[in-house]
Chains A and B, each alone.
Chain A
Amino acid sequence: MESLSLYQIIVAALTVIAALNVLLAKNPVVSAMSLMATLFMTGALYFGLGAFFIGAVQVLIYAGAISVLFVFIVMLLDMRPSLVAIPGRTLKVTLMSLAGLVFAAGLGLVVCGAPLQSMTEGDPATASTSLSIAARFLSRYMLPFEVTGLLIFAAVMGAILIGRAHDPSLRQARKDAK
């Protein structure tokens, strides 16, 4: 097995710290920025694993578009750090955290105990290059690739439809037409 490099250890530590900060920050803007940092550091982790194309796509789409979208929504919703305490919330948080930790322990047992199944083996160095991914996309995964285009188109239309502010003059025009 190959050994860990210092780069991978540092980037992994930064990823986990940023992810914890998403969870623990009081201010939602800090949460959104920590999400951006997590996604960026995960991209750096992909670079460490030799998946350069995936790392570039991660930084472009996830850290560059999705987390910026989150920051926009935080600004749009004008969220403030929550100051109001809700009764019964501490019990709920404790119980859900316990359930989450039990789930984590179960997952950890499965992940660390299961042997790696045999798959079609190849050369690890060229596994995730854009050439090999493109070869897969254009032969085996051609249909999901095309359908994903349709999916994104539908998502854009849906987001515009759901999110637009309702125009009162339009409502009046609809009432007059009836």
Chain B
Amino acid sequence: MRRPDVIKPVTILAAVLFAATAAAAPSNRVFVTNERGDSVTVIDAATNQVVGTIDVGKRPRGIGIAPDGSEIYVALAAENAIAVIDPVAMEVVRKFPSGDDPEAFAVNTNGYLYISNEDDAKASVYNPADGSLVAEIKVGIEPEGVAASPDGSKVVVTSESTNMLHVISVPQHRIEANILVGARPRSAAFSPDGKLIYATSEISGEIKKIDAETYKILGVGTLGDERAKPKDVLVSLDGKKLYVAGGRANSIAVLDADALVVLKKIPVGERVWGLAMNRDGSRLYTTDGVSHQTSVIDTASEKVIATVATGKFPWGVVVDD
């Protein structure tokens, strides 16, 4: 179903209302937050061309998309707020306060945002429909990465200084497990079948594989490069490969998800932190922060097929498709 192009303000308003009440057709765009540009770069996924730049507010970092694709959320660290973006109109439609210094968050299947509050040792749950605070959960010191399970029943929060993963049950919003991992755990991701959790530790350079039911650690791997501080991690759609952003190693490591060994490193730009995958798993998008660009990777050939100039110091990326 194709939505009609809308160019007049009145019809834009109608389109926003339409989007709010019915499942939105995807914009087929990639959205990148520019931490020092105070903006979001919008890239057309079919052409890899920049189609817009949205002024979102101060120090945007984490970015996520609503389950129905109707809204994109951006954490504004310097405004202590979440900006809500219409992905078709490419504009900020509202903002709501979020707690101090928001950085990373996950959007769960229930539509709520699970935000790690780095300075307050807690995770906050917000309903973006009305900006209300649903719950606060005490976690370890310097919470960072947040990942929601595919079925929405669990949310994992990493605490960097306490070296732990905390598993939060949804909707009870209580901690049901605490798992010790390597030094400075940064990011976590569930396998598509929800049975495994993968977590990266920045200082120990490790990737750990954890059973999502028993919480036992099943395996550990490393990126094998002293400069690599693993950041974002994603699991391929078939669950067989991991993609790990390697920070100053300036590459995406492709690992065998079972053996946790590096199969290949895909060179990208400098200081790669963020990673996103499209719906059919054919494309990866990176944020190469110091190169001020996004690299587009074809996952079949495991090669960069395009680089797209973004704003200053791109941080997070999400795909609406």
Do A and B assemble together?
Answer: no
Binding site for A on B (CB under 8 A): none
